């Protein structure tokens, strides 16, 4: 910010970092806004990369930290036309302006506070500070219009409410149940980013409950949502709740987590239902699960695209649920050296906890691990490379 200022530009800290600092929270990252154009920013910083098409902005790397630096944006027209789709969604948005243009483009009042390094003042055009004090999340402008411009703001509303313990202002809350369907047009890659922020930030359980409550969950995990609606026993809700709770706890304890494990949990019931169908058509259990895994995953990635390593992990965890059942002879020793063994065992424990018919099996494995002094490493859901882990396991057994 000082480098920008010394070069004659304006520079403000903005967004989540200002909000979090005011709330006494540790900011996850820092966003800076300036009147320098992306190309001008690049001239000032060697460690700078310009990214984005819809929003062109600069990423400046300092060690392991990336500071997002964007240029003030001018208002956009709310009618269909240049840069908008017919339903009002913004697809291109690179018209530059000044701070008093930029502020209206931000989503929530609490995200639209600017900290000015020139005189250490806080610039508040939209009543963000009083909303922070009231612990209230309020969209700037007309909520319906703002959700139509960018439906992902509905997910952001839930995410910030959950993360900050804020309530949604009634006018911000009310349209969500009518506009949720707009999320259907959001590119699956963008929804993946939101999925990560919603579920890998320590508030997964609360996010899940609120997304279900507002009817948004169906747009992220359609098959899971349908299965939840039919879940009279509460088994599936229990499975998801426990997995989210564990994820949240692990994150507060600084233990590693991976979305692959959550994908396995989220799609478990849809996958099992499919596999049952295939089995009744004569496929073996292994083949049925393999085919059902393919089907469940290919349906899911239409909503949220995911890196292959996460879906692959889910496949392996599911496949191992069958293989764990056959534990005679040397098999268990081979199985524990499988790179996904620990995740699969944790998955089995999760199923046991919520009353799936695997009590004896889970206990058998627990006893086996204790008997063979195989340490309970915190390996659930880690993404570590296989060879190292295989080596570790072998050493643990002998
Ligand atoms: P986090 O703690 O998750 O980083 P954040 O508020 O910083 O929260 P970012 O996604 O990093 O969120 O975005 C930075 C800022 O850019 C926001 O605070 C907001 O002012 C603005 N912004 C981001 N996404 C949108 C959006 N979809 N619509 C309007 N403004 C947005
Ligand atoms: Mg941020």
How would DSSP label each residue in 313-358? HHHHHHHHHHHTT---TTHHHHHHTSTTHHHHHHHHHHHHHTT-S-
pLDDT at 358: 93
pLDDT at 380: 45
pLDDT digits (tens, 9 = 90+) for 246-291: 999 999 999 989 999 999 999 999 999 999 999 999 999 999 999 9
More confident site: 172 or 370: 172
Ligand number nearest CA of 28 is 1
Q: Assess whether pLDDT exceeds 60 at residue 390.
A: no
What burial class does residue 208 get, using C-beta atoms within 10 Å of its C-beta: 0-12 exposed, 13-18 middle, 19+ buried?
A: buried
pLDDT at 393: 41
Q: Which of 131-140, 160-169, 365-374 has the lowest mean pLDDT?
A: 365-374
- Give yes or no for a contact between 227 and 296, defined as CB atoms under 8 angstroms apart: no
- DSSP H/E element including 136: strand 136-137
CB 102 near ligand 1, within 6 Å? no
Mind listing the domains of the chain with CATH numbers? 1-134 (3.30.460.10), 214-391 (1.10.3090.10)
pLDDT at 392: 40
pTM of the predicted model as reported, rounded to 2 decimal places = 0.89
Closest atom of ligand 1 to CA, residue 70: 16
pLDDT at 134: 98
User: What does the pLDDT average to over 68-73?
Assistant: 94
Which residue is closest in CA terms to ligand 1's atom 14? 15
CA dihedral 112, 118, 121, 126 (to 10 degrees): -30
Distance CA 253, CA 314 (A): 24
User: What does the pLDDT average to over 35-45?
Assistant: 95
Closest atom of ligand 1 to CA, residue 197: 3
pLDDT at 84: 61
pLDDT digits (tens, 9 = 90+) for 328-342: 888 988 899 899 999
Distance CA 157, CA 155 (A): 5
Q: Assess whether pLDDT exceeds 90 at residue 17.
A: yes
What burial class does residue 199 get, using C-beta atoms within 10 Å of its C-beta: 0-12 exposed, 13-18 middle, 19+ buried?
A: buried
Q: Assess whether pLDDT exceeds 90 at residue 383.
A: no
pLDDT digits (tens, 9 = 90+) for 196-235: 999 999 999 999 999 999 999 999 999 999 999 999 999 9
CB 193 near ligand 1, within 6 Å? no
CB 112 near ligand 1, within 6 Å? yes
pLDDT at 372: 87
284 Cα: distance to centroid of ligand 2 (angstroms):
49
Ligand number nearest CA of 21 is 1
CB 348 near ligand 1, within 6 Å? no
Closest atom of ligand 1 to CA, residue 156: 27
Q: Kindly list the catalytic residues.
A: 29, 31, 107
Ligand 1 pocket test, pick from 107, 187, 200 with the greatest ligand atom count within 8 Å of Cβ, gives 107
3-state SS assignment for residue 135? coil
pLDDT digits (tens, 9 = 90+) for 73-120: 987 654 445 566 666 666 666 688 899 999 999 999 999 999 999 999
153 Cα: distance to centroid of ligand 1 (angstroms):
9
More confident site: 53 or 137: 137
* Listed residue (87, 52, 47) closest to 73, CA to CA: 52
CB 107 near ligand 1, within 6 Å? yes
CB 153 near ligand 1, within 6 Å? yes
242 Cα: distance to centroid of ligand 2 (angstroms):
28
CB 146 near ligand 1, within 6 Å? no
């Amino acid at each position: 910010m000082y480098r920008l200022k010394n070069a004659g530009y304006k520079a403000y800290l903005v967004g989540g970092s200002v909000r979090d600092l005011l709330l006494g929270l540790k900011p996850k990252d820092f966003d800076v806004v300036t009147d320098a154009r992306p190309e001008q920013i690049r001239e000032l910083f060697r460690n700078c990369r310009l990214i984005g098409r819809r929003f062109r902005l600069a990423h400046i790397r300092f060690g392991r930290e990336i500071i997002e630096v964007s240029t003030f944006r001018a208002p956009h027209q709310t009618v269909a036309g240049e840069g908008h789709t017919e339903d009002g969604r913004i697809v291109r948005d690179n018209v530059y302006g000044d701070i008093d243009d930029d502020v209206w483009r931000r989503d929530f009042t609490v995200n639209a506070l600017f900290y000015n390094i020139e005189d250490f003042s806080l610039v508040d055009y939209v009543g963000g500070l009083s909303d922070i004090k009231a612990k209230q999340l309020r969209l700037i402008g007309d909520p319906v219009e703002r959700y139509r411009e960018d439906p992902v703001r509905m997910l952001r509303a839930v995410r910030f409410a959950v993360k900050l313990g804020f309530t949604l202002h009634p006018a911000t809350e009310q349209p969500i149940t009518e506009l949720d369907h707009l999320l259907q047009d959001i590119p699956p890659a963008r929804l993946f980013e939101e999925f990560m922020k919603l579920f890998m930030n320590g508030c997964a359980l609360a996010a899940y409950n609120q997304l279900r409550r507002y009817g948004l969950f169906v747009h992220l995990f359609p098959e899971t949502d349908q299965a939840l609606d039919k879940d009279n026993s509460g088994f599936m809700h229990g499975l998801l709740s426990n997995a989210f709770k564990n994820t949240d706890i692990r994150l507060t304890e600084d233990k590693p987590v991976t979305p692959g494990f959550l994908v396995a949990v989220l799609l478990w019931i849809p996958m099992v239902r499919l596999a049952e169908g295939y089995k009744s058509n004569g496929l073996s259990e292994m083949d049925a699960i393999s085919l059902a895994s393919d089907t469940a995953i290919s349906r899911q990635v239409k909503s949220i695209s995911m890196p292959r390593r996460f879906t692959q992990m889910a496949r392996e965890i599911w496949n191992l649920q069958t293989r764990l059942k056959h534990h005679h002879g040397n098999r268990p020793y081979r199985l524990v050296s499988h790179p996904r063994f620990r995740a699969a065992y944790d998955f089995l424990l999760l199923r046991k906890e919520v009353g799936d018919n695997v009590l004896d099996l889970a206990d058998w494995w627990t006893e086996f691990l204790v008997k063979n002094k195989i340490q309970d490493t915190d390996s659930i859901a880690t993404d570590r490379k296989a060879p190292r882990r295989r080596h570790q396991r072998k050493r643990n057994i002998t």
